Structure 1
Amino acid sequence: MDFPIFHIDFIGNRLLIAIDAILHVIINHAFAIGALPVVALFEFKGMQTGNRQWDDLAYRLLKIIFILTTTVGALTGVGIWFSAALVNPAAIGSLIRVFFWGWFVEWLVFVTEVSLIMVYFLSWQQAAKCVDAKRKHLRFGVFLATFSWITMAIIVAILGFMMDPGSWLSDRSLLSGLFNPMYLPQLAFRTALAMVMGSMVVLFLLCLFSRGETSVRDVEFKRDAVSLLSRWSAVWVLLLIFASVWYYNVVPGHMLESLPVAIATQDYVSWHSSLKWLLIIGLIFVGLTIRASFKCPGEVSMKRYAFSVLLLFAMLGQFERVREFIRKPFIIGQYMYANGIRVEEYPLLQRDGLLQHAIYAGIREVTPDNTLHAGREVFAQACTRCHTVKGVNGIRAQLQRMYGDKPWDAKIITAYLENMHNARYFMPPFPGNNEELKALSAYLASLQKNAEPFHGAQVSGIPKPDSVATSTSYGFLPDLSKVLTGVNE
């Protein structure tokens, strides 16, 4: 409401964030969190046995981790901030105000993590020349793995808060926000999953590195490495099973109950029928792969490891997608809807109108002469965070499936929009007044003949702020209009 509307119609705001975020999470979980402890373990094994092959393997693994995490991982991490601030600035602003000190600590941890991985990687060859230097060098590996996990531990608290803020809704403290009901179960789940993913990635890379090596010494070393990794990953698979059950049992009931309604009306993925079975089948396949590696180390094919890695990546991607979906209609549970409007602001907007409080809207009041233009402005403010006109999750395609070749009736659309949140729990209630509702319906009906995509402020330009607009209190800033009124009195 207080910001210009950014929108890319062909891809949509949701998919824009999803592609970047899922890629970042896969790299973060599999390499930064899951594989780094294995690197430190291999380095320790080399020091313990005096076998230089452990050290060489650890260094080759670290080189891949270093390149991926400091390039794609770092860029996609920045991309999450950039895209989230563009798509839903009110939500990211509120989260920053709640978790300022938590994020401040996370930024310090991240800077330390980057510094540690640079020192750990660049000093490897020099440290290998001296036993005492090697012991000190191993400490950098342990600290690096620990700091990588701490980064995730802080971010998971914020992700859990967005699903269920818990007691924060009443006491508004940082600690209640951090230790929300979803935090510890999700942290346990992600930690165990990351460790399993990292182990499978290393097993795949170990097979890739050892191709063409036929000496007895190389074969024996590969068996020892696979055997060690199999025992390591088996422990984490067991913990993952318990963590999955724990996490599933703390998901709020209304989130799970909303899915059957969504599945009956749209082509969304079912938590119960798809994600659960993907998780179960995936864990069984990965578990059998680990069992085979343990019983017959060095004999499992690289293709099987590759499939296990891809399956784990798909499981994590599907988990992220469903987690985001079941949180709806909220972007911050019970506090802010997915459209960026706070729950407590709805009565004001439904009374005065959405456009009256939209700082960068070009229209303030709906008239017979500007109905379609006003409807487009309402669509921008209320719908574009989730929907496009022609692109992914496009309104035009949904109406086309509903009506076919029949004329699109604005009155029927109005009746639907007025009650959509009752039929589809994942849809927020309409936030404006009746005139704006009718204007939006007229605009949507006009899309049958008007195929022009919706352009955001980055293309169409930013309307000049209108002095008629009032200042609203999104996030935790005080309502400026109320403050001024109190001063004048």
Structure 2
Amino acid sequence: MNYPVWNVSFLGSGLVVAIIAIIHVLISHIAVGGGIFIAVAEWWAGRQADGERVRAFLHGFVKYFLIYTTVFGAMTGVGIWFAIGLANPEGTSLLIHQFVFAWATEWVTFIGELTVLYLYFYGWEVNSRRMQLLLAVLYAVIAWLSLFVINGILSFMLTPGGWTPENRDIAAGFFNPTFLPSLLGRTLAMLVLGGLFAMLLAARVEDGLKERIVALAARFVLPAAVAMPALAVWYWFALPEAAQTMWLDGATGVAGGRLEAVTRYSLLAVITGALIVIGTLTFAARPRAVTRAAALAMLVIAQLGVLGGEFFREMARKPYVIHGTLYSNGLWQAESKSPATLDAPYFEAARWEPPGIAPGSPAHGEWIYRLQCASCHTLDGYRALDTRTRVWTPAFGERFLRDLAQQGVMPPFHGDAADRAALAAWLISRHGTPVTAAEVDAAAPAEVKR
């Protein structure tokens, strides 16, 4: 309510953030996992009789790696900042102010990554082999430290731990219950992606070197992929109880009935993980069969697994952007605990509605939607409200909004009976049958009327 609303038709602002973030996560995970592969391959090349041939492959690997991670990684990283600043400025402000030194550390590590990677690539002909190995190891360490910092902030959003708005100790929020399982799980995912990226580039090699590189890459992928379920179990037990309940409720839908999105995305991660293990075993057994198309398909499968894992984390946090503190529409939980604040006329607290809106008018309902609902729902696209409200009646709409928090995945409604009636009437009227706020208000029980 304290900021203007970024209303993105059909996609919604949240999905725009998700699209950019998923692309960036894949790139950043390859940046770390691929960096570790470069360091290991550089060391491995020094122990091969044809080490220069291995390093020739590695030089080509680093060229693609550098362009992919630095150019597209930087573009999507900046894109995330623009998108989250528009989609949820309240949450972005909290994260910046709470973790200002962590962000500064992250940006320093990013500059360090770029510097060392460029020194490694452009010093190929002039640096000693020992210096190249040192630079490769240094890049891998700095890239992993970047993960360390970002992981603390991301895991804080789901499990703030001992942090509260009253106790803003950075360590209490940073080293939270999901910090360690998330850090180790992401590290394993990065090893998988780094190995698969190496297999994709190894598919271009035509001689026996291809078999050895595929075998080396498989040693990255298989142990990490096999170890992931153990980290997933650890992560599960560190989740908030509400997230576990949401998943278990959705799991019943596997046999019929309701299947929550959080459960679907976790199943996607499990299925893609199994496919990666099977595919990598096949590649290791028949390395000559590794074609560009097959290796690319494996990388796409891994991307789907990353998507499943990231969406699971986001869905498990619903309806918060900072769990237990700040709802996704900018309402602070502390405000929601105060009936005097929560049940007051909404426009008394909101700052961005147009002046002169008549109470109970369609504009009244539309601006309640824009300011309270548009952060998660579009009208006719992603999480469409038109679809969700097509069978509403005035009485049902009023009751649904009044008991909104009982859904478990949405914030409580912020406003009085007039605000609920205006929003319900506007949503129902979009289906072709005009309904007035007065009709909705008349359908409400007497004890909740104005």
Same fold? TM cut 0.5: yes
Give secondary structure in 1 for the equivalent of 2:321.
Answer: strand
Give 1:439's aligned residue: 422
What are the residue-to-residue correspondences of 1:265-276 with 2, within 5 Å?
A: 268-271=260-263, 274-276=264-266
Contact 2:226 2:277 in 1 (8 A): no
Report Cα offsets for 1:81-139 as digits up to 9, x if no partner. 10000011001111111111111111111122122222222222333xxxxx2211222
1:443, CA displacement in angstroms? 1.8
1:164, CA displacement in angstroms? 1.2
Give secondary structure in 2 for the equivalent of 1:416.
Answer: helix
Give 1:205's aligned residue: 201
**2:366 aligned to which of 373, 376, 397:** 376
| Letter aligned with residue 409 of structure 2 | F
Residues of 2 paired with 1:374 and 1:261: CA distance? 36
1:226, CA displacement in angstroms? 2.4
Report Cα offsets for 1:114-173 as digits up to 9, x if no partner. 22222222222333xxxxx22112222211121111112211111111111111126320
Residues of 2 paired with 1:232 and 1:82: CA distance? 34
Q: Which runs of 5+ in 2 are unaligned?
A: 435-450
Deviates more, 1:103-112 or 1:300-309: 300-309
Report Cα offsets for 1:453-488 as digits up to 9, x if no partner. xxxxxxxxxxxxxxxxxxxxxxxxxxxxxxxxxxxx
What are the residue-to-residue correspondences of 1:50-89 with 2, within 5 Å?
A: 51-89=51-89
**1:419 aligned to which of 385, 395, 403:** 403
Deviates more, 1:90-99 or 1:301-310: 301-310
| Letter aligned with residue 75 of structure 1 | M
User: 1:450 and 1:34, CA in 2 relative to 1: closer, same or farther beyond 3 A?
Assistant: farther
Cα RMSD for the two superposed structures: 2.4
Give 2:350's aligned residue: 358
User: 1:416 and 1:281, CA in 2 relative to 1: closer, same or farther beyond 3 A?
Assistant: closer
**2:144 aligned to which of 135, 142, 149:** 149
User: 1:334 and 1:239, CA in 2 relative to 1: closer, same or farther beyond 3 A?
Assistant: same
| Letter aligned with residue 95 of structure 2 | L
1:282, CA displacement in angstroms? 3.0
1:223, CA displacement in angstroms? 2.4
Residues of 2 paired with 1:203 and 1:23: CA distance? 20
Contact 1:421 1:427 in 2 (8 A): yes
Matched, 1:341 2:331: yes
Matched, 1:185 2:175: no
Contact 1:326 1:426 in 2 (8 A): no
Deviates more, 1:385-394 or 1:189-198: 385-394
| Letter aligned with residue 202 of structure 1 | A
Residues of 2 paired with 1:168 and 1:267: CA distance? 32
Contact 1:363 1:374 in 2 (8 A): no
Contact 1:22 1:320 in 2 (8 A): yes
Contact 1:363 1:377 in 2 (8 A): no
1:361, CA displacement in angstroms? 1.9
What are the residue-to-residue correspondences of 1:113-132 with 2, within 5 Å?
A: 113-127=113-127
Relative CO higher for 1 or 2, CA cutoff 8 Å, sep ≥ 6? 1
**1:314 aligned to which of 291, 301, 304:** 304
Contact 1:366 1:435 in 2 (8 A): no
User: 1:227 and 1:350, CA in 2 relative to 1: closer, same or farther beyond 3 A?
Assistant: closer
| Letter aligned with residue 202 of structure 2 | L
Give the TM-score taking structure 1 as reference length. Answer: 0.81
Give 2:440's aligned residue: none
Contact 1:355 1:365 in 2 (8 A): no
Contact 2:37 2:195 in 1 (8 A): yes
Contact 1:85 1:92 in 2 (8 A): yes
Contact 2:246 2:262 in 1 (8 A): no
User: 1:421 and 1:392, CA in 2 relative to 1: closer, same or farther beyond 3 A?
Assistant: same
Residues of 2 paired with 1:265 and 1:354: CA distance? 36
Report Cα offsets for 1:218-237 as digits up to 9, x if no partner. 31x22222222223333323
Contact 1:261 1:425 in 2 (8 A): no
Contact 1:356 1:364 in 2 (8 A): no
1:251, CA displacement in angstroms? 1.8
Residues of 2 paired with 1:365 and 1:172: CA distance? 39
Give secondary structure in 2 for the equivalent of 1:124.
Answer: coil
Give the TM-score taking structure 2 as reference length. Answer: 0.88
Give secondary structure in 1 for the equivalent of 2:3.
Answer: coil
Contact 1:349 1:433 in 2 (8 A): no
Give secondary structure in 2 for the equivalent of 1:167.
Answer: coil
Contact 2:320 2:326 in 1 (8 A): yes
User: 1:289 and 1:9, CA in 2 relative to 1: closer, same or farther beyond 3 A?
Assistant: closer
Give 2:172's aligned residue: 176
1:77, CA displacement in angstroms? 0.7
**1:241 aligned to which of 222, 229, 250:** 229
Contact 2:357 2:363 in 1 (8 A): no
1:444, CA displacement in angstroms? 1.4
Q: Which runs of 5+ in 1 are unaligned?
A: 128-132, 452-489
Residues of 2 paired with 1:280 and 1:390: CA distance? 31
Residues of 2 paired with 1:93 and 1:44: CA distance? 43
Residues of 2 paired with 1:95 and 1:269: CA distance? 26
Contact 1:366 1:439 in 2 (8 A): no
1:283, CA displacement in angstroms? 3.0
Give secondary structure in 1 for the equivalent of 2:2.
Answer: coil
Give secondary structure in 2 for the equivalent of 1:331.
Answer: strand
Residues of 1 paired with 2:319 and 2:136: CA distance? 42
Contact 2:159 2:178 in 1 (8 A): yes
Give 2:23's aligned residue: 23
Report Cα offsets for 1:24-80 as digits up to 9, x if no partner. 101111x20111211222222223335211111111111111111122211111111
Count of residue pairs the alignment pairs up: 426
- What percentage of residue pairs aligned between the two structures are identical? 27
Contact 1:204 1:306 in 2 (8 A): yes
Give 1:43's aligned residue: 42
Residues of 2 paired with 1:266 and 1:375: CA distance? 30
Deviates more, 1:374-383 or 1:275-284: 275-284
Deviates more, 1:116-125 or 1:172-181: 116-125
Contact 1:189 1:240 in 2 (8 A): yes
Give secondary structure in 2 for the equivalent of 1:2.
Answer: coil
| Letter aligned with residue 26 of structure 2 | I
| Letter aligned with residue 140 of structure 2 | A
What are the residue-to-residue correspondences of 1:409-488 with 2, within 5 Å?
A: 409-422=393-406, 424-449=407-432
| Letter aligned with residue 47 of structure 1 | G
| Letter aligned with residue 439 of structure 1 | A
Contact 2:113 2:143 in 1 (8 A): yes
Residues of 1 paired with 2:404 and 2:88: CA distance? 22
1:321, CA displacement in angstroms? 1.3
